[in-house]
Amino acid sequence: MDLTGRTIVVTGAGRGLGRASALKAGRLGARVLVSARSLVAAQRVADAVASDSGAKAEAFACDLADPASIRAFAEEITRHTDQVDVLINNGARYLEGVDLWDADDEAITDTIAAGATGTLLTVKHLLPLLRASAGADVVNLVSSVAETRNHRSRAHPAFYAAKAAQAGFADVLSRRLRPEGIRVISLYPPDFTDGDPLHLTWDQASRTAGDPLAAQSVLDCVLFAIGQPRDCFIRSFHFEQI
C-alpha cells in the first residue's frame, strides 16, 4: 500500500512494535511523528526512519501516565502539522506479577494511567487534527488480556485493568466517531515475537501455523485495516492463541 501524503503518529515508538510501525510507515511514504517517554529514545527512532527510507520523521517526548505531558505533546504536534491521518496508540506499560502484592502502588498507578487514561487523553487532544483529515484512523494496540475470561497471561492485574479500560473506551469511541468518518480499529494480540525491520530476519521470519504470532503479522493487520475503502469499518482483530 501507499501512505504517501499521510501523517502518522505512533506513541510508544521507542522500541518493539511501535518502532517497527514507524519504520514500515516511513517505507510506505508517510510522514511519521513518533513519541516515547524519553525524547532521546524517540529521536533514535526518527533518525532510523529517515535513514532507512528518507521519510520525514519527527520525535517527541510523551509520558502517557502524565496528563500534562500528553497535552504538551499534542500542542507540539499541532505546531508541526495541521492534520493527523493515522494515530497508532501503541504506548503502554507492561507490568508482570500474578499477585496484587507483586507491584507497588506507584507501579500499579502508572500502568493503569499509561494504558487507560493515556490512550483516552491522547485521542482527546489529537482529535481536532484527526477531524481535519479527509479520512482518519485511530488504531489501538490493546491485548488479548482484555478479552473476556482470558487468564493466560502472567501480567499483573493492573495491566489487565488498564487494557480492559482501553478496550471499553475504544468500543464506545468507534460508535461515536463513525458519523464523522473516523474509524477506530483495535487489535487484541496475545504475546507475540518482536522483530526489527532493519534486520534480515524481519522478512525471513517463520510464520507458520505452528509458530507464535509475529510482530510482522500484527503490523500487517494494521496496514490492511487502514488500507480499506472508507465504507469498511473494521472494529477489531482477535487472534487464536497457541
What lies within 8 Å, CB to CB, of 92 at 6+ separation is 12, 64, 111, 114, 115, 118, 119, 141, 162, 163, 166
H/E element holding 74? helix 67-80
The arrangement of secondary structure in 7-238, i.e. its CATH architecture, is: 3-Layer(aba) Sandwich (3.40)
Burial class for 183, CB neighbours closer than 10 Å (0-12, 13-18, 19+): buried
d(CA 70, CA 114): 10
- The pairing of strands 7-10 and 183-188 is unpaired
Are the CB atoms for 188 and 218 separated by under 8 Å?
A: no
Q: What is the pLDDT of residue 77?
A: 98
For the chain, the average pLDDT equals: 96
Q: What is the pLDDT of residue 66?
A: 97
Q: Domain limits of the chain?
A: 7-238
Question: Which regions of the chain are under pLDDT 70?
Answer: none
For 162-221, the pLDDT digits (tens) are 999 999 999 999 999 999 999 999 999 999 998 899 998 899 889 999 999 999 999 999
d(CA 167, CA 99): 23
Q: What is the pLDDT of residue 152?
A: 86
DSSP letter for 230, please.
Answer: T
Are the CB atoms for 7 and 81 separated by under 8 Å?
A: yes
Q: Is 60 helix (H, G, I), strand (E, B) or coil?
A: strand
CA distances from 2 to 24, 114, 187, 195 (A): 11, 31, 22, 22
